[in-house]
A and B are shown apart, each in its own frame.
Chain A
Amino acid sequence: MPLRPQTDALRGSLDLLVLKTLSLAPMHGWGISQRVQQISDGVLEVNQGSLYPALQRLEKAGLITSEWGTTDNNRSARYYRMTASGRRALGEELESWRRFAAGLESVLRTS
């Protein structure tokens, strides 16, 4: 049976990557996707469009907000910005991710 990534885990990691990206500076969707691709080493290369449902989900959860802005070359784009609760959530998520990763690591090592 081929190994399939857990949707929830993937979704969780995507959310984490988006939040991490936005913690540095407000950014538009394409910018986020570029940044996520860089830092995730191609994890998201499969499907850039799946970023947008994640952005909508985070916005509905109140972790990010968005507004229209202008890019350097004078194009109109939707900019996403992290909220205070998003910052808190990022801290908590990072912490729990690290715990999860460490736990997984130790399990893999023993087996």
Chain B
Amino acid sequence: MSWLEGSRARLRLLFGRGAAEARMEKEFDFHLDMETERLVREERLDPREARRRALVAFGGVQQHRERLRAGRGMAWFSALSLDLKLGFRMLAKYPGLAIIGGLAMAFGIWFGAVTFQMFGMLTNSTLPLPDGDRIVKIENWDSKILNEEDRALYDYQLWRTMRSIIDIGAYRNASANLVGADGTALPAAAAEITASAFRIAPERPLLGRVLEDSDERAGAVPVVLLGHDVWTRRFDSDPRIVGRTVRIGNRFATVVGVMPDGYAFPMAHHLWMPLRTNVPDVEPRQGIAITVFGRLAPGMTLGNAQAELTTIGKRLAAEHPTTHAQLEPHVFPYTQMASNNNDMAMMKMLTYVFVVALVLVVCSTVALLVFARAASRETELLVRSALGASRRRIVTQLFAEALVLAGVAAVVGLAAAQLTLTIWGEPYLKVGYGVSELPFWFDFTLSPTTVVYALALAVVGAVVAGVMPARKITGGLGAGLRAGTAGGGVSFGGVWTAVIVIQVALTVAFPSIVMLVRGESTRVAAYDFGFPVQEYLGVTLGVDGALEETLTPDSAAARARLGTSLEALRQRLEAEPGVAGVTFVDRFPGEHHVYRRLEVSLPGNPSSVVATASVDPSYFAVLQAPMIAGRGFTSSDLSPDVRVVIVDQAFADIVMGGRNPIGHRVRMRSSQMPDSIAARQPWYEIVGLVKELGVSAMAMPQRYAGLYMPATPGSQGALNMIVRGRGELLTIAPRVRELAMTVDPTLEVESITPFDQMKTSMLWFNGLWTRIIMGLAAVAVVLSLSGIYAVLSYTVARRTREIGVRVALGSSARRVITSIFKRPLIQVTLGVIAGSVLIAVGSIGVGNTTQFSGTGIGGFAPSDVVLLVAYAILMLGVCALACVVPTVRVLRVQPTEALRVE
């Protein structure tokens, strides 16, 4: 078993480094002692002389040591550790390079790590549950309307018979008002869910039991399972809660258990009630909307499950062609339901490409700095080369130095990424998705994959920043050695020119993005609602999940009931001393409105796109906006036979061209509508003209014409309530909740926001992006400046002798400077041009999006364009600034000194 013994010996030698060293020294000592004793004994030498002769016979002890170490396989290791040590020393010796290069790399790695983690979380999470990667979602995809068909109760019964997916269950969101121990009603994120959920996501309840299959039977006692959060906050962690009856909306249910902290399956739920799926006589594509989940059976793959599901789908399509012909059942990992996959995959790809490009560009500039520095160390490298260091050895040394820099940058970048994710990750996604709580599997702790990704970026960065310049330098060393002088073959080539041009281009382009985002922020901050916002509260109302489904357009009874409830709520609120008025609208001022194309009864019947809102007749009175002309809405306008609308000043200006709109008529038409149908649309008479009241969304730069239609509260989506208060606004908020609960337990108060805070989240979101892009821009500026500076200083140092000769021969200072600065000047100019092209292309793209259409030159106002041009000129100036120090150095060159350099 020679290989076994050999391997043992190798491992011992490699890893027992200290022991191997000790053994070597001990053996050498023993050998020398024995030889000395022999010489004393046999040749009768004096002990001192004997020792000397023994040492001579032994040969160079140090040389043998090295050979033994090399034989142990440690040579590369000690060389690398030496290189790394050198790398750290270099960082300390050149702090400018370390700080600029390190911070720039850290920035790239930070951005890469944050985006990687975020996308990983959105698209590739594994459920933190047993078999988390085998839990799937099943859905019916309507291939005609390209959307999910979630009325799947009929299909669900068949899916449950599948062999490739087990523990199939379903849930639906049933958020409802929960009355807590103190009698107040607050909305709770509730799910009606099948008991199989607790087999998919098993967890021992803190108190009582989880839901069971028997709870789903018709006629079973209504039960509810509480989440930890609900239990602690709403029921003061009452240990005797199990068995008590609680009120949820207008229903009562017995608490059967409490789940431990952190349990939020299926998404972000804190209240669970049984879902009755066993509904008799359910028709295909009828019944409630459900989300279906299950677990892949042991040994089954996603492919197996999809195949079985497709077979079922085909059978259903054959049996029910009218409902199922265009339905395709799909199965995919459960966590992917949080993201729209095609868009997300595209964005992910683009971002990854951007990150790699960012790291490459950043590291190329660092490479430039490393190159300039290494070039100044050329003599040292030449000596090493002359002493026998191979090219590979020198490249490795420079790579190790860059690796040290990248390693430090990776640590800083990762730490910053974790900090960013902890502080901003959650609010960012909440604002971005417009939700109050994120799915339970979103984890903002850097995953091992993210760390590996960041380290890989660091290594790529080190290769670019270390190996590229090293190869270039060592390529010139041979020539330098032959010429017997430093500086023979090293020069900046086309790659560096490209790097500088890209840097400058980015430096020029980034601020334009900042300007775009800042422009939006400024607009939002300066946005005029048209009424004194500090007096108003926006109350978003919702109806109980169970009631929501009965609110189909033809269920007049349910609508009437909702209308009555809202009317009652209004009356109760208006009786409050702190309330000055209450009204209803479908969209709050400042939000995106419903945009409709309409035809105006002017000569030629011109058509325009306007923002429309459905409002309660009291709307304008409550918002303190009297009519400029004509009359306001009255309750008689709510009758379906009366067709009247009110328009705002922007309508009169934009659509009517300054004419008085009163008495004119409008009718809705969509762009696809054929003329024959459009001609049958009813005309509405404009009866009033009011000032502008926020129909253009806050983020939008353009001014929209507004058109108001009268609507009964609760109809036409008019479920947003605006409350005008007297004095302290926030004291009204709890009363709104109490009264809503008293008036109608199914009425949910989803949020209450003072109007003057409506801008806050949007400003925060924009502010965050502004800061990120400004960070990028700052990095680009610093990098391109230091790049230009490094190249110039290097060039000046390299050409000192030539400059000396030129000056000695009578060349004027102007000519010398021109000859030296021609190249950087061309580079910077090229960069500025490339950056301007980038802005132009980008702004055309931006201008084509709906958000910025019709706003000057592609999203930029003329003033922005002037600013950008000014900035480009400023950049040229700043770049010139980077040339100042090298220029001064050129002018100080004394011919005699310069010639003495060699």
Contact = CB atoms under 8 A, between A and B. Distances in A.
Interface in B66-93: 67-68, 71-72
A49 B725 CA distance: 97
Nearest to B34: A30
Interface string A23-34: 000001110011
A60 B71 contact: yes
Interface in B17-40: 23-24, 26-28, 30-31, 33-35, 38
Contacts of A18: none
Contact of A56 (B1, B13, B60): B13
Given A33-B31, A50-B59, A53-B67, A78 B26 contact: yes
Nearest to B57: A48
Nearest to B33: A75
A61 B6 contact: yes
Nearest to B62: A49
A95 interface: no
B10 interface: yes
A13 interface: no
Given A49-B64, A52-B24, A75 B13 contact: no
B23 A62 contact: no
B866 interface: no
Contact of A49 (B6, B38, B59): B59
Given A63-B2, A83-B2, A29 B27 contact: yes
Contact of B59 (A48, A61, A65): A48
Contacts of B3: 62
Contacts of B34: 30
Most chain A CB within 10 A, of B3, B9, B72, is at B9
Interface string B551-562: 000000000000
A30 B23 CA distance: 14
Interface in A47-86: 47-50, 52-53, 56-57, 59-63, 65, 75-78, 83-86
Given A53-B68, A85-B2, A62 B9 contact: yes
A62 B5 CA distance: 5
A84 B5 CA distance: 11
Given A62-B3, A62-B4, A45 B64 contact: no
Given A49-B60, A50-B59, A56 B30 contact: no
Contact of A30 (B4, B30, B67): B30
A85 to B, nearest CB: 3
Interface in A3-34: 28-30, 33-34
A56 B68 contact: yes
Nearest to A73: B37
Contacts of A83: 2, 5
A77 B30 contact: yes
B495 interface: no
Contacts of B58: 47-49
Interface residues of A, number: 30
Most chain B CB within 10 A, of A49, A78, A86, is at A49
A45 B56 CA distance: 10
A46 to B, nearest CB: 8
Most chain B CB within 10 A, of A30, A33, A50, A89, is at A30
B383 interface: no
Given A65-B9, A77-B30, A49 B2 contact: no
Given A50-B64, A59-B9, A61-B2, A78 B27 contact: yes
Contact of A47 (B10, B30, B59, B71): B59
A26 B598 CA distance: 106
Contacts of B71: 53, 56-57, 60
A78 B68 CA distance: 15
Contact of B30 (A60, A63, A75): A75
A96 B13 CA distance: 30
Contacts of B13: 56, 60
A77 B60 CA distance: 21
Contacts of A61: 2, 6
Nearest to B4: A62
A32 to B, nearest CB: 10
B61 interface: yes
Most chain B CB within 10 A, of A60, A77, A83, is at A60
Contacts of A78: 23, 26-27, 30
Contacts of B31: 29-30, 33, 48-49
Contact of B35 (A30, A60, A75, A89): A30
Contact of A28 (B1, B30, B38): B30
A29 B57 contact: no
Nearest to A45: B57
A82 B171 CA distance: 74
A77 B26 CA distance: 8
A47 B63 CA distance: 11
Given A29-B27, A30-B34, A47-B59, A56 B5 contact: no
Contacts of B5: 62, 65, 83, 85
A34 B13 CA distance: 26
B27 A49 contact: no
B30 A52 contact: no
Most chain B CB within 10 A, of A53, A57, A78, A85, is at A53
Interface in A31-45: 33-34, 45
Contacts of A34: 38
A85 B1 contact: yes
Nearest to A83: B5
A59 to B, nearest CB: 5
Nearest to A37: B57
A41 to B, nearest CB: 16
B243 to A, nearest CB: 74
A27 B60 CA distance: 23
A99 B805 CA distance: 71
Contacts of A57: 71
Nearest to B63: A49
A89 B6 CA distance: 14
B57 A60 contact: no
B432 to A, nearest CB: 60
Nearest to B71: A56
A88 B40 CA distance: 39
Contacts of A63: 2
Nearest to B12: A59
B4 to A, nearest CB: 7
Contact of A52 (B1, B27, B60): B27
11 contacts: A28-B27, A29-B30, A29-B31, A33-B31, A47-B57, A53-B67, A57-B71, A60-B71, A76-B30, A83-B2, A86-B2
Interface of B: 1-7, 9-10, 13, 23-24, 26-28, 30-31, 33-35, 38, 57-61, 63-64, 67-68, 71-72
Interface of A: 28-30, 33-34, 45-50, 52-53, 56-57, 59-63, 65, 75-78, 83-86, 89
Nearest first, the 9 closest Cβ-Cβ pairs linking A and B are A62-B6, A62-B2, A85-B2, A47-B59, A49-B64, A62-B5, A30-B34, A49-B59, A53-B67
Given A48-B31, A53-B68, A76-B26, 11 more contacts: A46-B59, A47-B57, A47-B58, A47-B59, A49-B59, A50-B59, A56-B71, A57-B71, A63-B2, A78-B23, A83-B2
